[in-house]
């Protein structure tokens, strides 16, 4: 899930050209966009990147496809509901920041690299129930949207934004690093990962970050988060020099499907490459999907799941 965009200079954002309900968000002023109550559910314009179509639909209808795209089938309804609350928060905050107006002249896109995953074909009765039971609910902190960050697996401990995302702005006051019970339900093949990178692959990833040090023959953890064990900075030694970069930035450059997280448990230097081993899948910030599954299975309500990952925030009903 990409990091939400910054506001694009306007304090009054309309939810799309065809939107029926204008939404006054207020200026973000560094603390986030104001979450205002609405008389009715808003409609939004959506760009479907596979067909290049633009459609107008209710935000709740859109969220059905998001939850189906972001979570696996046959999970507890309460886990889907928690995901719906986070996704609704992300959507409202994303649109308030300008959405995909510049790219597609719409509020949002179904392209996962631009906003959130979307798969209408995977919608189930349980997902419909989950979205309906949380209608209009978002996560707020002091009347403003929180950043609706989530990841597949946090590895057992969530991360602060500055660590998991290399977030360059001030750490949001509501963010916390918390323990997660995902180990109760997640398969080992999902929790742990390993990938061998060639010296050339590593050099190419560093090149994307502006570091030209040639083929890499050594990697070391330069700094690690005390709260969540993440490798916040990695030091690379190549044939033409050394470079130290944020772990989260390198993960994206190296391919986040191969380097699943920056919670590194081992680095093995071998003759034809370097094998990285770790735990978790994703940036680990905010809600953990496998953790939500475990909490739901343990009898927690959607709001209790949200409070576990955002203990300083609250769930607010906007419509």
The tally of domains found in the chain comes to: 2
Is pLDDT above 80 for 128?
yes
Q: What is the pTM of this model?
A: 0.89
Residue 162 sits in the same domain as residue 19: no
Residue 22 sits in the same domain as residue 36: yes
Residue 75 sits in the same domain as residue 108: yes
Residue 201 sits in the same domain as residue 127: no
pLDDT band at 236 (very low <50, low <70, confident <90, very high): very high
Residue 105 sits in the same domain as residue 184: no
138: burial class by Cβ within 10 Å (0-12, 13-18, 19+)? buried
Spell out where the chain has E strands: 43-48, 53-58, 108-109, 137-141, 144-145, 150-151, 192-197, 216-224, 231-238, 241-246, 264-270, 273-279, 287-288, 314-317
Q: Determine the pLDDT at residue 31.
A: 73
Q: Determine the pLDDT at residue 1.
A: 54
Q: Determine the pLDDT at residue 30.
A: 56
> Which residues lie closer than 8 Å to 226 by C-beta, 6 or more apart?
none
State the average pLDDT over residues 138-161. 97
Residue 158 sits in the same domain as residue 280: yes
Residue 254 sits in the same domain as residue 298: no
Q: Which domain holds residue 181?
A: 152-285
Task: Give the whole-number percent of the chain exceeding pLDDT 70.
Answer: 91
């Amino acid at each position: 899930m990409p990091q939400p965009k910054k506001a694009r200079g306007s304090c009054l954002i309309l939810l799309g050209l065809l939107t029926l309900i204008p939404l006054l968000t207020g200026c973000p002023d560094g603390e986030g966009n104001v979450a205002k109550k609405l008389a009715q559910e808003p409609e939004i314009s959506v760009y479907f990147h596979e067909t290049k179509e633009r459609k107008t639909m209710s935000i709740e209808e859109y969220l059905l496809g998001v939850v189906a795209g972001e979570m696996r089938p046959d999970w507890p309804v309460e886990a889907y509901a928690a995901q719906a609350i986070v996704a609704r928060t992300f959507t409202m905050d994303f649109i308030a920041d300008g959405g995909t107006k510049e790219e597609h002249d719409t509020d949002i896109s179904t392209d996962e690299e631009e906003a959130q995953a979307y798969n209408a074909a995977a919608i189930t009765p349980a997902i419909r129930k989950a979205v309906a039971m949380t209608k209009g609910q978002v996560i707020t902190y002091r009347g403003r949207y929180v950043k609706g960050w989530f990841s597949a697996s946090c590895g057992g401990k969530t991360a602060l934004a500055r660590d998991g995302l290399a977030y360059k702005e001030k750490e949001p006051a509501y963010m916390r690093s918390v323990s997660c019970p995902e180990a109760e339900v997640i398969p080992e093949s999902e929790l742990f990962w390993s990938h061998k990178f060639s010296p050339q692959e590593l050099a190419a990833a560093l090149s994307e970050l502006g570091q030209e040090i040639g083929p890499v023959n050594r990697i070391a953890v330069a700094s690690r988060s005390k709260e969540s064990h993440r490798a916040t900075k990695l030091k690379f030694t190549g044939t033409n020099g050394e470079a130290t970069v944020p772990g989260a930035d390198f993960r994206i450059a190296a391919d986040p499907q191969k380097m699943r997280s920056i919670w590194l448990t081992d680095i093995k230097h071998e003759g034809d490459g370097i094998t990285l081993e770790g735990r978790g899948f994703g940036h680990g910030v905010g809600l953990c999907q496998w953790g939500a599954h475990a909490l739901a299975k343990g009898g927690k309500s959607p709001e209790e799941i949200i409070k576990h990952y955002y203990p300083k925030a609250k769930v607010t009903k906007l419509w």
